[in-house]
Amino acid sequence: MSKKKVTSLVWFRNNLRVLDNISLTKSIEESDKTIGFINIDPNDFKETNFGFKKTEKFRAKFLLESISDLKKNLEKLNISLIITHNDLGSSIKNVINKYQIENIYTQREWTRDEIIQEKNIPNDVNLIRDFDQFMYSPNEVGEIYDNIPRGFSNFRKKCEKLLTIKDILPSPKQLNIDNQIDEVFDVPSLSDLGFEDFEVHEKSAFKFSGGENSGINRVKEYFFQSKNISKYKLTRNGLLGENYSSKISSWLSIGCVSAKYVYSQIKLYEKTVEKNDSTYWLFFELIWRDFFKYVSMQHKNKFFSVNGIYGNDKKWSTDNNILNKWINGETKDPFINANMKELSLTGFMSNRGRQNVANYLTKELNIDWRIGAEYFEALLIDYDVHSNYGNWLYNAGIGNDSMPFRKFNPKLQSERYDPNKKFEQTWLNG
């Protein structure tokens, strides 16, 4: 009697890549047939409680580009990608039944929306989940921390001293042509998601396309071609242009590249070109990324609560008139206005800008921090639930800031980071 062949599904979520993808690697190793699957949920494009689309056009465009790239990269491996644009429950059940799926491999998630998604998986299917979005493995971090410390510095120092970062997994080898399924699925268009097509703004600091290939090319260009990483610490607070920062966060946010891959390239650069404070500082930012993921894992839904993760009881305003002036870049502070204009027109904003506008909304205008977080969620190309909400909690003084009453002065910030007013002029003069 011949052995039953096992068909497995790789459910792509925020891991849209073939290089260093543990779910893809395990499925190929443990199955006779591997099929890719991604669902674009219509609910992700509906309005939230605060009146914003959960996903606006900038994020949508980058996502579709990334899915298209993933589809091409999987095709090279003779792996089909099933693309659905429907309710996840009905979509994935249809796929399971049609292809007699026994196992589903996916990236482990833990925040509220992602947990709800997993409830759509039938109980008779094996759901195999792996953490694949960290530099420092949760298993190892769990050995040194019972609870993640409030301050980032303690977390960083202990991780650096006691833990190692694993090597990246190679891209899988090409499978036999009979691994493919007969059906071919098209990537939806922007219009399918309810948006008109658009051109990237001519002044945008982010003119890159989505996808694993684009992300890898950006790392190579920023590191080894321009060598801009060597001055990252000096330029990271810049406001204009493509190269004041790495811009890698957008590809990291949906897993077009992994944090471990970026780390491996930092180490390669340090070995073959130069090691300095700037190369370390980019690694430092990757640790911050890990940190917020661990904070969200520890505090669960407190991460999204009005009082923050430490239960600060503060009365927030929801004044729409004040809020709309902030959104539209019509406050009394030009530096704030310029950053908000940039965001609305491009889907991108510098780290310096994000800190200032978040601090301003919560500590100057006293507006509910969750509204600002949702607005960022809608527009930012590099939106990541952990970094976005973690940073908003931080800037609102109800998260991990060791100085929760810290308040920026937009005028002084402008004088320091935009002394010639080039940034303000770029976005406020037409």
- Angstrom distances, CA of residue 105 to CA of 78, 88, 112: 18, 16, 20
Q: Which CATH class is domain 1-132?
A: alpha beta
| CA–CA distance, 1 with 10 (Å, rounded to integer) | 28
Count Cα atoms within 13 angstroms, Cβ side, for 126: 11
Question: Which of 211, 1, 177, 212 has the alpha carbon at shortest distance from 76?
Answer: 177
Phi, psi angle pair for 384, to nearest 5°: -140, 125
Q: Backbone phi, then psi, for 308, in 5-degree steps?
A: 80, -175
Report d(CA 286, CA 384) in Å as an integer: 13
Distances (CA, A) of 342 to 347, 395, 430: 7, 20, 12
Architecture of 305-428 per CATH? Orthogonal Bundle (1.10)
Check residue 4 and give its pLDDT: 67
Boundaries of every domain in the chain: 1-132, 133-167+211-301, 305-428
Paired tokens of 229 = 């990483």
Write down the pTM of the prediction: 0.96
Q: What is the pLDDT of residue 3?
A: 61
Question: How far apart are the C-alpha atoms of 324 and 330, rounded to whole Å?
Answer: 8
Phi then psi dihedrals of residue 340, to 5 deg: -70, -35
| Res 314: pLDDT | 83
The total of other beta-carbon atoms located within 10 Å of residue 98's CB is 11
Q: 250: which 2 tokens?
A: 């957008």
CA distances, 5 to each of 31, 32, 35, 424 (Å): 8, 6, 14, 62
Q: What's the first-to-final CA gap in the chain, in angstroms?
A: 75
Task: Note the CATH number of domain 133-167+211-301.
Answer: 1.25.40.80
Residue 207 and residue 242 in contact, taking contact as beta carbons nearer than 8 Å? yes
Residue with tokens 């510095």: 153
> Token digits for 221?
């260009």
Query: Contact, 337 vs 323, CB < 8 A?
Result: no
Q: What is the mean pLDDT of each run of 10 residues along the chain (430 residues)?
A: 78 98 98 98 93 97 98 98 95 96 97 90 94 95 92 95 96 97 96 96 97 98 98 96 96 98 98 98 98 95 91 87 98 98 98 97 96 98 97 93 86 97 93
Reported for 295-301, long-range contacts at CB under 8 A and 24+ positions apart, including other chains, are 295/148, 295/386, 295/390, 295/399, 295/400, 296/110, 296/111, 296/385, 296/386, 296/389, 296/390, 297/110, 297/138, 297/148, 298/147, 298/148, 300/110, 301/112
Cα–Cα distance for residue pair 154/148, rounded to 1 Å = 9
Indicate the helix (H) or strand (E) that contains 103: strand 101-107
Residue 254: per-residue pLDDT: 98
Residue found by looking up tokens 């406020």 in the block: 428
- Predicted local distance difference test score (pLDDT) of residue 402: 75
